[in-house]
Homo-oligomer: A and B are copies of this chain.
Amino acid sequence: MSDLVTKEQLDQVLAHIDGDIDQAVERLRTFLNIPSVSTDPAYKDDVKRCAEWITNDLQSIGLEATCHETVGHPMVVATDDSAGPDAPRVLYYGHYDVQPPEPFDEWDSEPFEAALKDSPYGQKIVARGAADDKGQLMTFVEAIRSWKAVHGTLPVRVVILLEGEEESGSESLVPFLTEHKESLQADTCIVCDTSMWDIDTPAITSRLRGILYIEATLHGPTHDLHSGGYGGSLVNPANALTKILGQLHDDKGRVQIDGFYDYVEVVSDEQVDQWNSLGDADAILLESSGAKATFGEEGYSTLERLWSRPTCDINGLTAGYQGEGAKTVIGCKASAKISCRLVAHQDAEQMQASLINFLESRTPVGCSWEFKKFGCSPAISVPTSSPWLSKAKDALTDIFPNPAVLIGTGGSIPVVGEFQHILGVDAVLIGFSLEDDLIHAPNEKFEVTSLHRGIRSHAAILHAYGSSSD
Contacts and interface: CB of A to CB of B under 8 A. Distances in A.
Interface in A240-261: 241-249, 253
A442 interface: yes
Interface of A: 39-41, 99-100, 102-103, 106, 132, 167-169, 195, 209, 211, 213, 215, 220-236, 238-239, 241-249, 253, 285, 289-297, 302, 305-306, 309-332, 334, 336-337, 339, 341, 364-367, 374-375, 409-412, 435, 438-443
A239 B249 contact: yes
- Select the residue from A253, A294, A329 with max chain B CB neighbours within 10 A: A329
9 contacts: A211-B228, A232-B297, A232-B306, A232-B310, A232-B311, A232-B313, A234-B291, A238-B336, A293-B366
B235 A291 contact: yes
- Select the residue from A313, A337, A441 with max chain B CB neighbours within 10 A: A313
Given A228-B411, A230-B410, A234-B289, A319 B320 contact: no
Given A221-B291, A242-B314, A285-B230, A326 B440 contact: no
A190 to B, nearest CB: 19
Given A213-B328, A326-B374, 11 more contacts: A100-B327, A102-B321, A221-B289, A224-B440, A229-B435, A230-B410, A231-B311, A233-B295, A293-B366, A318-B322, A327-B440
A224 B441 contact: yes
A195 B100 CA distance: 45
Given A102-B323, A320-B315, A195 B229 contact: yes
Q: What is the total number of copies of this protein in its complex?
A: 2
A238 B247 CA distance: 13
A310 B227 CA distance: 12
Contacts of A311: 227, 231-232
Contacts of A230: 285, 289, 306, 410
Contacts of A306: 229-233
Smallest CB-CB A-B distances: 3 pairs: A246-B246, A228-B411, A222-B290
A387 to B, nearest CB: 29
A374 B411 CA distance: 40
A232 B410 contact: yes
Contacts of A412: 228, 328
Contacts of A321: 100, 102, 315-316, 337
Contacts of A374: 325-326
